[in-house]
Structure 1
C-alpha cells in the first residue's frame, strides 16, 4: 500500500512521516507513528532470550496472562504476557511468588507505546524470595504453636467494632461505606 507524499515545498518542513527519527530536529520532526514503527522494527530484530526471575504479578484475562517478573537480586522488572495457546503448554500451577525460567521475546505495541515480553516457555526452578520468606515465617510460627487450634477464638456474632486498613479515599474504603 502506497500513501501519497506531497512534494516538499522549499522553506517548509517535510511531512513528519517522511523524516526518520534519527534525522529529526525541531524544524523537521518525525511523527509518533514513524517513531513507534522504528522502535518496533528495532525490537523485532532481537531474538528470544531465556531469563530467570520471580513472578510478581499474574492477571488472567480472556484466557491470556498479563503479569510481571522481577529480577532475583535487584528491583528490575519486566512486563510479560502469555497467550492462551502458550498457557496450555505451561505448568498449570504457575503463580505469584514462583521462581521461574522463561523464554521471552520482546514486543513493542506502536498503538499504545507499550513494551512487553511474550513468553513462549516457562518452568519452575523454585520458590521466589518473597514466597520463601513467607514459608520460613509459617514454619517458625507453626513451631511456636501459633497455628494451634486451641489458641483460636470464635468471632463474635455481632462485632462492636470493625477496623479497615486501607489507603485514604480508596475504592476499598468506598465499598465498605
Structure 2
C-alpha cells in the first residue's frame, strides 16, 4: 500500500504500523469509493424506538454474502411500501469503515423496494440468458428411471409438500426409500441451503432422482427457485431433477431447467414412483392376454394341421397315384384300340391294293391264257416282243405262261390278225 503524501512511510519489520494507522488507511481507501447503488435482500431489520440509527442486514440472494446497513429511521419510513425481512430492495449509500471496531457497513440514504413488475422483468431477462446458453434444451434432459432405488426430496420442514410427496409415494410403492433434506424454501437463506442439499443428494450413491418441492406462494416467495445459481446447479447435476414448485400456474425458472416439471408435489410423486398395484394389475392383464394369445395361436395351428391332415393328398397319399394309374390304363386301352383300328384299316387297304395288283398283274393275265414272249439274243438280256416283225424265222424265244416258261424258235410266220387292221381303220376314221 502506498502511503498518502505526508503520511507515515512504508511499513517494515523495523518500522511497523500501529493498528490505528492501518485502520485509518483502510478507512481512507473505502471512503474514496463514494456513493453506490446496491441490490439485495433484507434478512434482518433492527429498529429500536428512540434511537437515531436503524440497522439492517442486506444479503446477496445468489451467494452466501451479506453486509451491515445503517440508516436513519426516517429512511425506512420514506420507503414506498413497508419494508419486511425477505424483501428485495435497491439502496443508495456510502461504504463506511469504523476504525475502532474495524467493521464495515453501508450507510444508506435511500431505499427503493423492487416491485413485482421489475422482479418479473429481471426473471425474464435471466430466462432469455439461460435459454441462449442452452440450459433449457430438451436434448439435455435426463430420463427419469422407471423404478428408482432411492428418491431425494428437498423441501421445507414439516410442510404440506413433504407430506404430499411421502404419502403419495409410499401409497404407490410402500418400499420406496426417500432421502429428505429439509431447507428453507423462501427468504434469503433458501438458495444456499437448497444448493447444499442438492450437492449432497447428487453425490448420494443410492439416490436416482431428486425432487425439489414446495407449495404455492407469491412471486416473492418463489423467487429462490428462479435464482441463476440454483438453475445452473440443477443443470450441472448428474442426477435427474424434478421441479415441483407451487401449483399449476406457477412457473419459476427451475421448471425450465429441471429434467421434469411436475404441476404439484403430488404430481411429482405420481410421476417418479410407479404404482405397484397398477403395475401388478398390468402384469396380470398382460399375462392373461399373453396366455390367451398363446392358446389362440395353438388352436389356429392345430386347426391348420387338422386341415392339412384331412386333405386327400395327406389322408390317402396313394390315391393320386391310383387315380393316375386308372387314367393311364384308360389311355393305354384307348391307344391300343386306336392302333388296332388303324392297323386293321391299313391291312384292309393293303388287301385291297394286293387284290387290285393281283387283278392287274401279269400272273392273272397269264392265268387267263395269255403268254409273255421274250426274244433271246446271245448275251443280251431277253426282251419282250410285241410284233411279229421282231420275230423273224429262226429267232430264239422264251415263252412264259401261267405255270412256267419254255424255249421256242420261229419256224414260219402265221397269217396276220385282222382285228388290229379294223381297229386301225377305225382309228383313221
User: What's 2:13 paired with?
Assistant: 26
Give the TM-score normalised by the residue count of structure 1. 0.58
Alignment CA distance shift 1:92-1:126 (3 Å):
closer
Q: 1:54 aligns with which of 32, 41, 50?
A: 41
Give yes or no for contact 1:105–1:119 (8 Å, CA) kept in 2.
Answer: yes
Alignment CA distance shift 1:91-1:65 (3 Å):
farther
More helix by share: 2
1:39 aligns with 2:60: no
Give the TM-score normalised by the residue count of structure 2. 0.26
Match of 2:215, SS state, is helix
User: What's 2:215 paired with?
Assistant: 137
Matches of 2:46 and 2:62 in 1, distance apart? 24
Match of 1:120, SS state, is strand
**CA positional deviation for 1:19:** 3.6
1:117 aligns with 2:195: no
Give yes or no for contact 1:99–1:124 (8 Å, CA) kept in 2.
Answer: yes
Q: Which has the higher contact order (CA 8 A, sep 6+)?
A: 1
Alignment CA distance shift 1:63-1:93 (3 Å):
farther
Give yes or no for contact 1:19–1:28 (8 Å, CA) kept in 2.
Answer: no
Question: Alpha-carbon deviations, 1:26-72, whole Å to 9, x = none?
Answer: 22111111111111111111121111110011111325221211112
Matches of 2:45 and 2:80 in 1, distance apart? 14
Question: Alpha-carbon deviations, 1:79-120, whole Å to 9, x = none?
Answer: 111123433433461111001111121000111111100111
Displaced runs of 4+ in structure 1, greater than 6 A? Answer: none
Which has the higher Rg, Structure 1 or Structure 2? 2
Match of 1:66, SS state, is strand
Q: 2:71 aligns with which of 60, 64, 82?
A: 82
Give yes or no for contact 2:76–2:111 (8 Å, CA) kept in 1.
Answer: no
Question: Alpha-carbon deviations, 1:102-146, whole Å to 9, x = none?
Answer: 11210001111111001111111148982498xx736569xxxxx
Match of 1:130, SS state, is coil
Match of 1:121, SS state, is strand
More strand by share: 1
User: What's 1:162 paired with?
Assistant: none
Aligned residues: 121
Matches of 2:110 and 2:100 in 1, distance apart? 26
Give yes or no for contact 2:75–2:111 (8 Å, CA) kept in 1.
Answer: no
